[in-house]
A and B are shown apart, each in its own frame.
Chain A
Amino acid sequence: MEYLLRNIDSPNSAEITEYEKAGGYEGLKKALKIDPKDLIELVKKSGLRGRGGAGFPTGMKWMFASADPKFPKYLVCNADEGEPGTFKDRPILEKNPHLLIEGMAISAHALKSEKGYIYLRGEYPYAKTVLEKAIAQAYKRGYLGADILGSGIKFDLSVHQGAGAYICGEETALIDSIEGRRGQPRIKPPFPVSVGLFGKPTIVNNVETLSNLPFIVEVGAEAYSKIGNPECPGNKLFCISGHVAKPGVYELPMGTTLRDIIYGHAGGIKNGKALKAVIPGGISTPVFPPDKLDCPMDFVSVPKFGSMLGSGAVIVFDETTCLVRVTWRALKFFEHESCGKCTPCREGTGWLRTVLERIENGQGRPGDVELLEDISKNIAGKTLCPLGDGAASVVMNFIKHFRGEFEGHLKGGCTFNAPEFRQA
């Protein structure tokens, strides 16, 4: 059963009246009657894990922030989905904004936070218009503001628009960016739950994570914990792109297999071509060859198959795709988005891109594949944030599974046809 994308096909799904008609804000009404401590306990028991990529238990994160005696506490929604291949939060932001607002109001009550920000990526100008309108509607109806539904509880919420920096999806860089700084990751500890935004305890949760809360409050921790994989329960938004017949966002229980997602839901490979490779969780996650399709897609199973669930962004490549070119484009991205703070990432991503570029252009030199591996090993584990690790692991894993294709490029360059114009 869908609870994240419920009603989004209705043309007025972003309107507060539509949302209320479908039972919206009932979770908040219920939550306001629950003591904050019990609410955190409920989330802990539900087993909810953060949907931003790391899969950290939400209830535990909340407990840390709640235990810190400092006030005010800030609640930040990470709506900076910049991981290439990811567009899962977009339908919530553009078509179901009140679900997120309700989730944030519930969270704010649990955390005793009176001020929240939605850090929205600059590339989603339409979502900004929708969210700001929805926030204004929620204030008018008393779901936000100085005295939420007469409970005496206060919570103010505003949108903070990013300006095109992938790194700001990393929570400490995101915090710097709200503070008006260059978005560069901070050294942890201290963690944001104790020293975060403006030096205060701060919870940063992903859009999808926060949007799970109205449903958890509605059905209770026990019922929720039975959906999908009990070790990381609930529904997950999977966004599928690339060479599939029906790309899009699908809300499915955690643990749905990759095979079922690609063939059962996304209609299989486009134009009857053969599958060559799949990136399971966004460009930073290790690529899968076709023999890993039985991997259940959840936070505990994907690592056992050698990758990560990440943001649930599945990118599918058919047999016509040049994977050297894909790796080169990925590294061009990492080079562009490296914030420049850590030398191995700042310098290494550029070198990886340079070497990949010459291999793809037929100017590769003997030993270049080993050189790529060597550079990658000198980035991995040597940077403050996961951007460098992601870049290194993309290169290492494409080489690991498709070494022949890289070696082949050294003998005369790329033999794949360049992608054609899209046909209408």
Chain B
Amino acid sequence: MSFFSDKALKELDEIKKRYPTRRAAALPALYVAQKEFGWLSPEAIDAVARHLTLPPAVVKGTATFYSMYKHRQVGRHLIQVCTNVSCMIFGAENLLGLLEEKYGVTPGGTSPDGRFSLVIMECIGACDKAPAMLVDEDFHSDLTRNGIINILESYK
């Protein structure tokens, strides 16, 4: 029995068609596995490796290089706050303190209720609307003290 759902298997078949080698499908396949299992657990990495007939060490070696894969279990929502220079000068670091105060979440960690995980991001290309963050796949910018809380309250 496959580790992947039928929908994911179909997606993986489409992905493999785009590349002349199996290994090249590794990055997109890891995204599929992450969506399927929530994070890249050792089992998820093995499933990708088996599916692409690659050694698990090769897939793991690739996956761990990239910071946007979830290498551990995360909360229901992932907050990624940019604190690079253009965001820093507009107080992005203050937002981190606020998130700890309000939700008990610190960079690299998850809130006690499992609602939010928080990660510090390098530049997310929204420097003209600093500070900015991604929540899951949604992009939010011009973050103020009240604004960020209002936004996060809509993520249950």
Contact = CB atoms under 8 A, between A and B. Distances in A.
Interface of A: 81-87, 90, 117, 121-126, 158, 160-166, 177-183, 198, 239-243, 247-249, 283, 313, 315, 317, 321, 325-326, 329-330, 333, 336-337, 339, 418-424
Interface residues of B, number: 50
A160 B123 CA distance: 20
B123 A86 contact: yes
18 contacts: A84-B85, A85-B123, A86-B123, A126-B139, A163-B69, A177-B27, A179-B21, A180-B24, A180-B25, A198-B21, A243-B89, A315-B86, A325-B88, A333-B85, A337-B122, A420-B91, A422-B90, A424-B142
A326 B85 contact: yes
B51 to A, nearest CB: 13
A403 B145 CA distance: 34
Given A181-B62, A329-B88, A336 B122 contact: yes
Interface in B110-156: 121-131, 134, 137, 139, 142-147
Chain B CB within 10 A, most for which of A81, A82, A87, A424: A87
Contact of A424 (B88, B126, B147): B147
Contacts of A424: 142, 144, 146-147
B88 to A, nearest CB: 5
Given A82-B125, A164-B66, 11 more contacts: A87-B125, A123-B121, A163-B30, A163-B67, A180-B27, A182-B62, A241-B128, A329-B83, A329-B84, A419-B94, A424-B146
B44 interface: no
Contacts of B68: 122-123, 162-164
Contacts of B24: 178-180, 198
Contact of B125 (A81, A117, A419): A81
B108 interface: no
A161 B31 contact: yes
Contacts of A117: 18
A90 B89 contact: no
Contact of B144 (A82, A126, A242, A421): A421
A125 B137 contact: yes
Nearest to B142: A422
A137 B154 CA distance: 33
Contacts, number: 159
Contacts of B142: 422, 424
B105 interface: no
A88 B127 CA distance: 10
B93 A419 contact: yes
B128 A315 contact: no
Given A123-B68, A248-B128, A83 B123 contact: yes
6 A-B pairs with the lowest CB-CB distances in the bound complex, closest first:
A164-B68, A180-B26, A241-B127, A163-B66, A247-B128, A182-B65
B26 A242 contact: no
Contacts of B19: 178
A253 to B, nearest CB: 21
A86 B19 CA distance: 30
B77 interface: no
B84 A84 contact: yes
A82 B67 CA distance: 13
A392 to B, nearest CB: 17
Contacts of B61: 182
Interface string B75-104: 000000001111011110111000000000
A321 B89 contact: yes
Nearest to A178: B24
Interface string B5-37: 000000000000011110111111011000000
